[in-house]
Homo-oligomer: A and B are copies of this chain.
């Protein structure tokens, strides 16, 4: 059985979990807190980041969410999450990178540090200026997601894909941390409501991080 090293608010682990859930792949969760820099985990992944996916039976170890996602698509064909032509797959991968890099750097990373890590590790209050900037950035990103889901059926094209899973993974962490003002973003809200009604995301939304609570609307499909 696959073992996934992760922590509840890691958006990259959420993306991989959504992919495994959508494809019906069984796995066990192993809780890892990368900020503790545990020796055994650094032996597994020198970079010290989650997610890491391990199959103790075969000895296969996969590090980095993109390497894991591509491995899953290559080895488990049913319910493809990179559907379509090579160019369509390129468009999906562009959007996954957009959420993993740009949305993470502007929004999820700062929120995670200010609202979760500072509380858990440093026992310090968040920096109001950084939070304000992240919330402003969220708004611009939601405008872009509004445009995407307004002009196509799903985020990456005509079919559900890894782009939807990456978007839902990052949005859900930002939402948990109270970083999203949904007003004025009806298209994205409607798309996210649909994602929230999928079993894959519901499982993840039911979990909690120690010391940090989500807002009341967090789990509700109708929010």
A47 interface residue per 8 A CB criterion: yes
A48-76 contact mask (Cβ, 8 Å, vs B): 1 or 0: 00000000000010111011101100110
Residues of B within 8 A of A102 (CB): 47
Q: Measured between C-beta atoms, what is the minimum distance from A148 to chain B in Å?
A: 10
Minimum CB–CB distance from A92 to chain B (whole Å) comes to 8
Question: Is A144 positioned at the interface, with any CB of B under 8 Å from its CB?
Answer: yes
Known: A46-B144, A47-B98, A62-B94. A86 touches B67 (CB 8 A): no
Contact flags A192-207 to B (C-beta < 8 A → 1, else 0): 0000000000000000
A97 on interface, CB distance cutoff 8 Å: yes
State whether B71 touches A86 (Cβ < 8 A): yes
Query: A89 near B: Cβ within 8 Å?
Result: yes
Residues of B within 8 A of A66 (CB): 66, 93, 97
Sorting the interface of chain A by its residue count into under 10, 10 to 19, 20 to 34 or 35 or more gives 20 to 34
Binding site of A, secondary structure by majority: helix, strand, loop or mixed? helix
- Residues of B near A86 (CB, < 8 A) are 71, 74-75
- Residue of B with least CB distance to A144: B46
Shortest Cβ gap from A166 to chain B (Å):
13
Taken residue by residue from 93 to 135, chain A's Cβ proximity to chain B (1 for < 8 Å, 0 otherwise) reads as: 1100110001000000000000000000000000000000000
Q: Could you say which of B46, B60, B94, B144 contacts A63, with CB atoms under 8 Å apart? A: B94
- Complexed CA–CA distance, A94 and B61 (Å): 10
Are A94 and B67 closer than 8 Å at their CB atoms? yes
A87 within 8 A of B: yes
7 A-B pairs besides A60-B90, A67-B97, A70-B70 with CB distance below 8 A are A46-B144, A60-B87, A63-B94, A64-B97, A66-B97, A67-B90, A67-B94
A interface residues (Cβ-Cβ under 8 A, vs B): 46-47, 60, 62-64, 66-68, 70-71, 74-75, 86-87, 89-91, 93-94, 97-98, 102, 144
